[in-house]
Amino acid sequence: MSRLPLAYRLALWLYPAHFRAEYASEITETLLAVEREFATTSAIQRQLRRWRESVAIVRAAVRLRRSGGTPDPHRGSKMETFLTDLRRAARALVRTPGLTLSIVATLALAIGANTALFSVVQAVLFQPLPYPDADRLLFVWQELHNREADYYPSAQADLVDYANAEAIEGIGGMWAFQQPLVDADGPAERVPAAAVTANFFTLLGLEPVLGRDFGEAEAAPPTADGAPTAGSVIISYELWQRRYGGDPGVLGRALDFGAGARPIVIGVAPAGLRLHFPQVAEVPERIDAFVPMRVDWSAPDRSGWYIRTFARLRAEATVAEAQAQIEAVNDWQWEEFPIYANAGTHTYVAPLQQALTASARPRLLALFGAVGFVLLIAAVNVTNLLLVRATRRSRETAVRAALGAGRVRLLRENLLEAGMLAAAGGTAGALLAVLGVRALVGLGGAAVPRLADARVDMPALLFTLVVCAAVAIVCGLAVGARGARPVLLETLRGRDGLSGGSPRLRRVLVVTEVALCLVLLVGAGLMARSLATLLAADVGFEPENVITFEASLRGAMDDGTPRDVQDRLLERIESLPGVRVAATTTSLPFGDGGMSAPYGTAAEVDDGDEFDFRQASLRKVSTGYFEALQIGLDMGRTLRTEDEDRAPPAQFEFPRDAPVPVVVDRRLADRSWPRTDPVGEHFFMKMGGGLWMEVVGVVDTQRTLGFEREARGTVFMPEFGSSRLHVVVAADRDPTAQSAALRAAAAEVDPRIVLADLRPLAAYVDDARAPTRFATILMTLFAGLAVVLAGVGLYGVMAWTVRCRTGEIGLRMALGSSRPAIWRGVVAQGLGLVAVGVLFGEASALVLTRLLAGMLHGVSPLDPLTHAAVPVGLGLVALLACWFPAWRATRVDPLEALRAD
Amino acid sequence: MPAAEAPLHNPLTWLSYLVLLALADGPTHGYGIIKEVERRTDGRTRVEAGTLYAAIKRLREQGLLSPVGDASGSRRRRDYELTATGRKTLRLESERLEGLVDVARAKGVLPA
């Protein structure tokens, strides 16, 4: 807070020099004190105070200059003229309030919208990640081409293999989970945690602010006998502050993770540490507890693919080199280990930032394009409106010029007016930008990575201000130069309007505006249609009136198997009034990804190679799950209690001769048994000790990975009892009101059951739609803005045309033209311009909307409905814009009009 | 600034009176004056910096207040104090106001 806001610094320059010399530094100091005082108040109060202070400075400056005391009389008189001109310009602007407001509003909207969106683009796409040399951080992932699995994690062995790539300085990984924390320092809670390789912080370029980083001890492989070691943990700065009061004594203490795990705190991570992994990686931004991942580097595990991997590029290496070397490693893996060839693995590296923003990038760039169009339309509009202004005042200008007002002075007045318009528009625009960024952050929320960090980007604001001011001033000057032309006899004689070129110029402006507007509208229309398709997409279940929570039964298991506790819990919940049915699942649709594994049909297994295996999601659910989520049954039956009653397998293994009964979704059934009845078919899932399964029923396709990703097959398996699961509760009405009742019910069954994430299922589905909705809302907003601006522009031109043609219209009426004929003539002229604009716009839209293809779901960029409806809609707006001028034309009094000529 | 023996300026403007009154306890700087005025008027009167320094300039020219210490000192945070004339003017103005309040009491505008 050592710098004074720009407004103050500018205002201070208005003081007379002698006053400034004496008091400026003191006033600065005082204003800084005021700034500090108001720093903690609301933004509105702060801005109000700044406004008051600035006005006071300006007023005092004017008074000081008036009261004289300036030693330099020449300077004073110049100032006096300037102030007179300023007053005259202000009066001139106030005299035409509608026009002035239109121009200021156009400028403000353009500046505000443009700056706000640019600020967001800057924060999301270009702001470097908050790690040292962040551009050298790479995200590493696999695509399993034979399994239709994208953005897949790696195995421990992959980290070892990849480390051979010379372009890579270091490689590390992590996997995230929820960690119960049950020590006495606070309430029992579950914190986001991650198992990380020992080099995790080094790779990111970070160091603990307290204590030490993971080292040799943590990098060591697990002991042969598998005995639990004490273990280490690095906690987040936030957890340290929140739970341990920032006590440095936390170092060396053992935390209680429950179940006998008591790791020692060896360090505290830097404050505000955020992990920025792509959303598909399902790594939360905040991690509160980091524990070392035990890797046996001599014989690393090659079968469990669960590690999210990232690497640091050598300073002199390129991403392409790293990619090529990793691919070579990949080829070697294919030859050595069948599992890679079977899955069809391809490993990719990309700069972390690029991977992070890959999903948001096309949307933001499209929006950026849209906002650019708005800026263009605004510029056209301002030009247009300034022309209208000048026309209105052409006679006054001509009279003054004729009476001897200097050309320079007339020019200067025009410039001043344009400057004042630009200043007013700029101020309002800057304010809009601040509000706009805030609105965007609120609207986009978690849907866009890093959006929360967006602030108004000063260079962007300045750039937009300069562009808009330049438009206003250049137009003002151009118009002024025309007006200041000494001989304007035509005008003085009463023939309103400007010389020959102008009407054509103005028509070109309107056509341009309509064309730009149409492109924008078609884009917005397509995206709105796409959103509608997305919102209507069948996800395969009914999320309404279902509330979910995660339950940890660990503590309650002393008195029975998890299965018993689970049954008692579901029974108790179902006895609550209004509850239809309660069920459990291992993962929620649209929640975290859950388990998935490759599977093959019996025939494919007998072929002996796993090349044809596909990836499927695996969910363990209780029998009521299908009823709770109203999942439609296509064939066979859903799960029954007796399916669950099979003894829980010790090694999570079902042999071929005793398969577990499962329900699969339509997607999986169609792909595996396209021609035969899937019920009764056997298949194998490569997980745990190997799972043989028998299809007993087929349900509707479950689209649970997200709206923009292809559905993957889903397998529902009976729940034999887990210590941690998600509970879904279907009610007759909105169940959010029952949160308290649910907690009470759980506590009644066993107070040691821990509930977390009590949330409607619909909220998860909603989150998945958020990115598309965010982009669509913005696009619609910009399109709406464009329509308003185009409408205003068209109105301005038509009103002006009617004014210019008053004489002609009067003459026609005198000669017997009817009012409807006059009306039709004016409207036809307006619509003619619009038609030309639509033609150009449609031609551009057909080309430009192809760029949107990647963001559209279920709608072609050439969607005939959109391309047809938009011109019609735009035509209606145009009709509206012509209506009033046309009506005015019919009110022309022939006598008056002819007399004036 | 020429300010030696200025005549007594009665009545003072409201702002001048508030500024002089704020300095009656002792010297303080511009922001101190703003806060003192705000406090003494229960937050109703908040003087803007621009207005205050225009008033300070005028009051200095009238010889009612002056910066503390020598003029060569730091100008970033200068304290101001009442001059003898300033203190006298403040007293006279206060008496004048008191007299007016007495009139108001006599006329029943205020309770006696």
Amino acid B1: pLDDT: 40
Interface of B with A (CB under 8 A): 29-31, 34, 46, 48-54, 56-57, 75-78
Say whether residue A645 is in contact with chain B using an 8 A CB cutoff. no
Identify the top-confidence range among A180-189, A442-451, A498-507. A180-189
- Flag whether pLDDT at B70 surpasses 70: no
As given in the structure block, the two tokens for residue B55 are 């008033």
* Range scoring the smallest mean pLDDT among A86-95, A344-353, A538-547: A86-95
Q: Mean pLDDT across the stretch A661-681?
A: 91
Say whether residue A51 is in contact with chain B using an 8 A CB cutoff. no
pLDDT category, A709, cuts 50, 70, 90? low
Express each pLDDT in A578-595 by its tens digit: 899 999 998 888 876 677
Q: Which residue of B has its CA nearest to A27?
A: B49
B50 vs A56: CB contact, 8 Å cut-off? Answer: yes
Q: Which residue of A has its CA nearest to B33?
A: A30
Express each pLDDT in A463-516 by its tens digit: 878 877 787 777 777 766 665 454 445 554 544 444 334 567 777 888 888 888
- Flag whether pLDDT at A224 surpasses 90: no
- Percent of chain A residues past pLDDT 90, beyond the cut: 12
Judge contact between A563 and A622, C-beta under 8 A: no
B30 vs A61: CB contact, 8 Å cut-off? Answer: no
- Of A829 and A678, the structure prediction assigns the larger pLDDT to A678
- Domain assignment of residue B7, yes or no: no
Say whether residue A29 is in contact with chain B using an 8 A CB cutoff. yes
B contacts of A61 (beta carbons < 8 Å): 50
Nearest to A532 by CA among A801, A197, A780, A335: A780
A26 vs B48: CB contact, 8 Å cut-off? Answer: no
- Please give the full DSSP string across A461-489, using - where no structure is assigned: HHHHHHHHHHHHHHHHHHHHHHHT-S--H
Express each pLDDT in A244-261 by its tens digit: 888 888 898 888 887 778
B contacts of A34 (beta carbons < 8 Å): 31, 34, 49
Q: Mean pLDDT across the stretch B35-61?
A: 91
Q: How many domains, chain B? A: 1
pLDDT category, A765, cuts 50, 70, 90? confident
CA A868 to chain centre: 30
A contacts of B49 (beta carbons < 8 Å): 27, 30-31, 34, 53, 56-57
B49 vs A34: CB contact, 8 Å cut-off? Answer: yes
Give the other-Cβ count within 10 Å of A612's Cβ.
Answer: 16
Question: String of b and e for A68-96 (b: at least 16 CB within 10 Å)?
Answer: eebeeeeebeebeeeeebeeebeebbeee
- Of A13 and A483, the structure prediction assigns the larger pLDDT to A13
Amino acid A679: pLDDT: 93
- Of A34 and A303, the structure prediction assigns the larger pLDDT to A34
- Flag whether pLDDT at A705 surpasses 80: no
State the complex-level ipTM. 0.87
Instruction: Tell me the backbone φ, ψ of residue A709, rounded to 5 degrees.
Output: -115, 145
CATH number of the structural domain spanning residue B91 = 1.10.10.10
Q: Output DSSP code: residue A254.
A: B
- Domain assignment of residue B111, yes or no: no
Q: Mean pLDDT across the stretch A302-331?
A: 88
- Flag whether pLDDT at A229 surpasses 60: no
CA A591 to chain centre: 19
Region of residue A598 (phi > 0: left; psi between -120 and 50: alpha; otherwise: beta): beta
Amino acid A403: pLDDT: 73
Q: How far apart are CA A829 and CA A799, in angstroms?
A: 12
> What residues does A730 pair with on adjacent strands?
A546, A581
CA-based radius of gyration for chain B: 15
Q: Mind telling me how many Å the CA of B112 is from chain A's nearest CA? A: 39
Among the partner-chain residues B30, B51, B76, the one whose CB lies closest to the CB of A60 is: B51
- Domain assignment of residue B34, yes or no: yes
Judge contact between A782 and A371, C-beta under 8 A: yes
Judge contact between B65 and B33, C-beta under 8 A: no
Q: Which residue of B has its CA nearest to A28?
A: B76
A22 vs B50: CB contact, 8 Å cut-off? Answer: no
Amino acid A556: pLDDT: 66
Say whether residue A35 is in contact with chain B using an 8 A CB cutoff. no
Q: How far apart are CA B87 and CA B92, in angstroms?
A: 9
Instruction: Find the helix packing angle between A806-814 and A819-848, rounded to 10°.
Output: 140
A contacts of B46 (beta carbons < 8 Å): 52
Amino acid A581: pLDDT: 92
pLDDT category, B38, cuts 50, 70, 90? very high
CB pairs under 8 A between A and B: 63
Amino acid A651: pLDDT: 63
Taking the CA atoms of residue B75, residue B80, residue B83 and residue B87 in that order, the dihedral angle to the nearest 10 degrees is: 170
- Percent of chain A residues past pLDDT 70, beyond the cut: 89
B contacts of A23 (beta carbons < 8 Å): 53, 56-57
A contacts of B57 (beta carbons < 8 Å): 19, 22-23, 64
Say whether residue A22 is in contact with chain B using an 8 A CB cutoff. yes
B31 vs A33: CB contact, 8 Å cut-off? Answer: yes
pLDDT category, A68, cuts 50, 70, 90? low
B contacts of A60 (beta carbons < 8 Å): 50-51, 53-54
pLDDT category, A669, cuts 50, 70, 90? very high
Q: Mind telling me how many Å the CA of A31 is from chain B's nearest CA? A: 7
B76 vs A29: CB contact, 8 Å cut-off? Answer: yes
- Flag whether pLDDT at A75 surpasses 50: no
A contacts of B54 (beta carbons < 8 Å): 60, 63-64
Q: Which residue of B has its CA nearest to A58?
A: B50
Nearest to A265 by CA among A306, A233, A311, A229: A233
Q: Which residue of B has its CA nearest to A32?
A: B31
As given in the structure block, the two tokens for residue A677 are 């009845």
B contacts of A16 (beta carbons < 8 Å): none
Q: Mean pLDDT across the stretch A118-131?
A: 81
Region of residue A498 (phi > 0: left; psi between -120 and 50: alpha; otherwise: beta): beta
Nearest to A576 by CA among A747, A754, A741, A760: A741
Cα distances (Å, whole numbers) of residue A97 to A100, A483, B20: 5, 21, 44
Report helix, strand or coil for A499: coil
Q: Which residue of B has its CA nearest to A34?
A: B31
Interface test with A, best of B53, B58, B65 (most A CBs within 10 A): B53
Express each pLDDT in A367-384 by its tens digit: 778 888 888 888 888 877
A contacts of B52 (beta carbons < 8 Å): 30
Say whether residue A897 is in contact with chain B using an 8 A CB cutoff. no
Q: Mean pLDDT across the stretch A327-331?
A: 89
Judge contact between A201 and A213, C-beta under 8 A: yes
A contacts of B76 (beta carbons < 8 Å): 25-26, 28-29
* Range scoring the smallest mean pLDDT among A193-197, A253-257, A395-399, A465-469: A395-399
B54 vs A29: CB contact, 8 Å cut-off? Answer: no
Among the partner-chain residues B48, B54, B56, the one whose CB lies closest to the CB of A64 is: B54
Q: Within A190-348, where are the H helices? A: 200-204, 216-219, 237-244, 319-336, 338-343
- Flag whether pLDDT at B52 surpasses 90: yes
Among the partner-chain residues B30, B46, B54, the one whose CB lies closest to the CB of A30 is: B30
Q: Mean pLDDT across the stretch A300-314?
A: 85
Q: How far apart are CA A594 and CA A588, in angstroms?
A: 8
Task: Give the E-state strand segments of A705-819 in sequence order.
Answer: 713-718, 724-731, 754-760
B31 vs A23: CB contact, 8 Å cut-off? Answer: no
Cα distances (Å, whole numbers) of residue A174 to A131, A179, A449, A889, B109: 17, 14, 20, 74, 80
- Give Cβ neighbours of residue A71 (< 8 Å, ≥ 6 apart): A18
Return mean pLDDT, chain A: 81
Amino acid A501: pLDDT: 40
Q: Output DSSP code: residue A448.
A: S
Q: Mean pLDDT across the stretch A601-624?
A: 82
Domain residue limits at B32: 14-106
- Domain assignment of residue B101, yes or no: yes
Q: Secondary structure of A273-297 in the HEC alphabet?
A: CCCCCCHHHCCCCCCCEEEECCCCC
Q: Mind telling me how many Å the CA of A80 is from chain B's nearest CA? A: 19
Report helix, strand or coil for A138: strand
Q: Which residue of A has its CA nearest to B77?
A: A26
Amino acid A446: pLDDT: 66
